[in-house]
Amino acid sequence: MSTLAEYDEKQSAAPERPVRPVRGIATLMARLGEDEAPLFDAPGPRGRRRIAVATAVSVLVMAVLLAVAVRQFAVKGQLDADKWQLFAEWPIIRYLLTGLWATVKITLVSGAIALPLGALLALARLSRTRLLRWPATVYVELMRAVPLLLLIYAFLLGLPSTGIRMSLFWQLVWPIVITNAAVFAEIFRAGVRALPAGQTEAGHALGLSHWSTMRFVVLPQAVKQTSPALVSQLIRLLKDSTLGYVVSFLELLNSAKVLGEFNHTIVQSYLVVALVFVIVNVALASVAGRMERRIGSGAGTRKPRA
């Protein structure tokens, strides 16, 4: 019987077999990377057929529901031309554009305050000092759990009883800022955690302090990596502005409600405003997708320095 040493010697002396190229699903797994491959289970022929059938059935059901809804609108007279022609008049268009600008203004102001506040909260959660880390952690976890509508009611009904008076604009902006800052903090923190540890070590090797390393080395890279997620959160922030009806602020959706009740065109007003929101959100989503592709292509084509 050959010993283990003789077996190892025979194996090392044997010619190496040529490695065959991997094709099909294995190639896809290889492209996904070693970390992502176990999480991906490519469907087989039967699974693909089931997915195709389910997709076709879903599209058919949605088409039937849409046809039924359009027919009901036609029966009730909601598709009559006289109910839609007012949206071609300039005073109505200007009124809706004013509401759209109010929505955009809320989004821009809330985002301009919530983004840097979220970055500061993320740095506090990543701090080595407990006096900064624990309060920031409690704030983020608490504000992510509190419903935005409840916070708006707290500003609307609670603050006046304490003698604090705010305009309708800020009664809507501050609750949005408070809740979204916590979400932005988690996005920034996830971006920092996703960076290689060598980035922080390189900053320390250059003689930078912890805060200087975070400010000049880590955080700029985290912002770049998380920019698609930040834009996606801005889309949600835009939709959060539709809660302006609670404080009677005339943003786009509340403007549509007032217009519909005044002209008895509630269905038409809401459909027009829904179309505007779809266009704006699709535009922002395309920006996020373009950023994600640019970051991905930049990471894939980046060559290591010599």
Instruction: Answer for the pair 199, 139: CB distance below 8 angstroms, yes or no.
Output: no
- What whole-number distance in Å separates Cα of residue 165 and Cα of residue 132? 30
Where the chain has pLDDT below 50, the residues are 1-4, 7-8, 11, 16-39, 301-306
- Residue from 124, 120, 117, 134 nearest 174 by CA: 117
Locus of tokens 């022929």? 45
Q: Which CA distances in Å does 51 have to 26, 41, 160?
A: 21, 14, 55
What is the pLDDT, as a whole number, of residue 74?
A: 81
Residues recorded for the chain: 306
What is the pLDDT, as a whole number, of residue 298?
A: 58
What is the pLDDT, as a whole number, of residue 38?
A: 45
What is the pLDDT, as a whole number, of residue 266?
A: 87
Distance of CA 132 to the CA centre of its chain: 27
What is the pLDDT, as a whole number, of residue 296?
A: 62
- Helices within the chain (DSSP H only): 4-13, 25-32, 45-75, 90-125, 130-145, 148-153, 168-194, 197-205, 210-213, 219-225, 227-240, 252-263, 266-301
